[in-house]
Structure 1
Amino acid sequence: MKAWGAGVIAVLALLATTAVAQDWTPLDADNTLILETTQGRVIIALSPQMAPQGVARIKQLTRQGFYNGLLFHRVIDHFVAQTGNPDNKDGGRSALPDLPLEAVFRLSDSVPHTVVAQPDGATTGFMGAVPYVAMTDRHIPPASDGSLAVRAWGTHCRGVLGMGRGEATDSANSELYLMRDTVTRLDRDYTVVGRVVSGFDALAALKVGEPSAQPDAMNHVRLLADMPAAERPKLEIMNITGAAFAALVKAKRAEKGADFSVCDITVPVRTVP
């Protein structure tokens, strides 16, 4: 996992012992993906608000057992780890129809989110654990109900999960990719569906190659909601609307200064008894 600065580490240590209950929340069991890989467990928070069809497809295939045993057939350092193809190479797909691109969505006040920065002409923030970029609301008229909706997209920070596709824009199907580094040039060209919240070390440890001589695999993929209670990871995620998260962002902004970006933040998780 990317190293935090000393100031941010101090804030996290303080929050772990003093943060009030509303600063932490259980993982959304219906939208948490658990990957048991050959390098360890990776836990991903899915975002149906960003990509409802993509998230629904991943959940459907997961519940069918489709992803179990599939290899990470293409792992490129400082870029991506690809998997989810039944023939373990680019171009494979499930028997289900291809999906339309869901790279851009409408962000409004009715969708829970938290702004962390406002670079010129845009805002950046989080929907749950997933980072996004949105157009500024300047000069955009409100809707007839008085709400304001702007164009937004998931941004490709390290740990983001997206759906691979072919040359055709609307050809996402079953392939997945995990970002091993921040590469925002992919923004608005691919469907972002979630982000890693735990297991960054396992993601970093995947063997590099196209494929590698001994590629890693997703041994077992489940939704948290489908796991027996005794097997569920005992984790809570920080509430992005709480004071603890605001303090974390403030500390990171102070540490990074003018270089701060939304990709400098990962929403923390903690173990609970």
Structure 2
Amino acid sequence: MQLRKLASSLIVAGALLTSLGPVLAAEPEDTMIIKLKGGDVTVALRPDLAPKHVAQIKALVKEGAYKNVAFHRVIDGFMAQTGDVQFGDVEDGFDARRVGTGGSSKPDLPAEFTSASFERGTVGMARSADPNSANSQFFIMFAPASHLNGQYTVVGEVEKGMELVDQIKKGDASANGMVQNPDRMLDVRMASDPK
């Protein structure tokens, strides 16, 4: 009898948790879906940490600016960088010498540094030596990197598809991770957008 009650309680609890969905999942309007050659990577954006950066990323996604943009700098065991909409579009205007130096037509952003740490799956904004120079480029961490904490803006974390991020073509370590014939984001959309 006790086992039957316990089983019944577990079923009810499981149904309740299932109906609530993932506890830490972002709302659809803050969920970015990156289509890679192997499938979709779901990123929970964090407007609570970096409202200006997240707003700019979402605007660029809605414009279609990230479509076909290369993962131009990929360092095994560290991170995969993408998002140079100016020089990184593999289908239109790709410039192998300048990719990684561009941004978008939108203004650079003031830093939004927080105490959030850079762990595997963290998405951060790329920038130059100027802390207030992030624009459109971002990177996804393969592994923790505490030396980035408080130095770069955290904008989200991978919720699903990290195994696909792991498969992104790696760059040449002697060339600071620059990738020849790089993989790309085939498409990027917000979960709230119509398919």
Tell whether the structures are fold-level matches, with TM greater than 0.5: yes
Aligned residue in 2 for 1:142:
none
Distance 1:42 1:56, change over 3 A: same
Deviation at 1:173, TM superposition (A): 0.3
Match of 2:164 among 189, 202, 205: 202
Match of 2:193 among 196, 212, 226: 226
Match of 1:191 among 136, 142, 153: 153
Match of 2:118 among 148, 151, 156: 156
Aligned residue in 1 for 2:64:
65
Aligned residue in 1 for 2:21:
24
Q: Which amino acid aligns with 1:68?
A: K
Distance 1:212 1:30, change over 3 A: same
1:154-198 residue CA offsets vs partner (Å, 9 max, x unmatched) = 210000001100111100000010001111110000000100010
Q: How many residues align?
A: 166
Q: Which amino acid aligns with 2:186?
A: N
Q: Secondary structure at the match of 1:225?
A: coil
Aligned residue in 1 for 2:83:
84
Aligned residue in 1 for 2:178:
211
Deviation at 1:18, TM superposition (A): 5.2
Aligned residue in 2 for 1:34:
33
Aligned residue in 2 for 1:99:
109
1:122-174 residue CA offsets vs partner (Å, 9 max, x unmatched) = xxxxxxxxxxxxxxxxxxxxxxxxxxxxxxx2210000001100111100000
Deviation at 1:213, TM superposition (A): 3.0
Q: Secondary structure at the match of 2:61?
A: helix
Distance 1:41 1:160, change over 3 A: same
Q: Secondary structure at the match of 2:186?
A: strand
RMSD (Å) for aligned C-alpha atoms: 1.9
Task: Structure 2: give runs of 5+ residues left out of the alignment.
Answer: 1-9, 89-98, 172-176
Deviation at 1:21, TM superposition (A): 2.1
Provide the rounded CA distance (Å) in 2 between the counterparts of 1:205 and 1:40: 11
Deviation at 1:90, TM superposition (A): 1.7
Q: Secondary structure at the match of 2:29?
A: helix
Deviation at 1:16, TM superposition (A): 10
Q: Secondary structure at the match of 1:19?
A: helix
Deviation at 1:214, TM superposition (A): 2.7
Q: Which amino acid aligns with 1:207?
A: K
Deviation at 1:39, TM superposition (A): 3.2
* TM-score normalised over the length of structure 1: 0.58
Kept after mapping to 2: 8 A contact 1:53/1:99? yes
Provide the rounded CA distance (Å) in 1 between the counterparts of 2:12 and 2:100: 46
Give the ranges of 4+ consecutive aligned residues of structure 1 lying more than 3 Å apart after TM superposition: 15-18
Kept after mapping to 2: 8 A contact 1:39/1:216? no
Provide the rounded CA distance (Å) in 2 between the counterparts of 1:39 and 1:207: 12
* TM-score normalised over the length of structure 2: 0.80
Distance 1:16 1:75, change over 3 A: farther
Task: Structure 1: give runs of 5+ residues left out of the alignment.
Answer: 1-14, 105-152, 229-273
Q: Secondary structure at the match of 2:154?
A: strand
Provide the rounded CA distance (Å) in 2 between the counterparts of 1:27 and 1:49: 11
Larger displacement relative to structure 2 (58-67 or 33-42): 33-42
Q: Secondary structure at the match of 1:85?
A: coil
Provide the rounded CA distance (Å) in 2 between the counterparts of 1:187 and 1:102: 12
Kept after mapping to 1: 8 A contact 2:106/2:135? yes
Provide the rounded CA distance (Å) in 2 between the counterparts of 1:27 and 1:204: 22
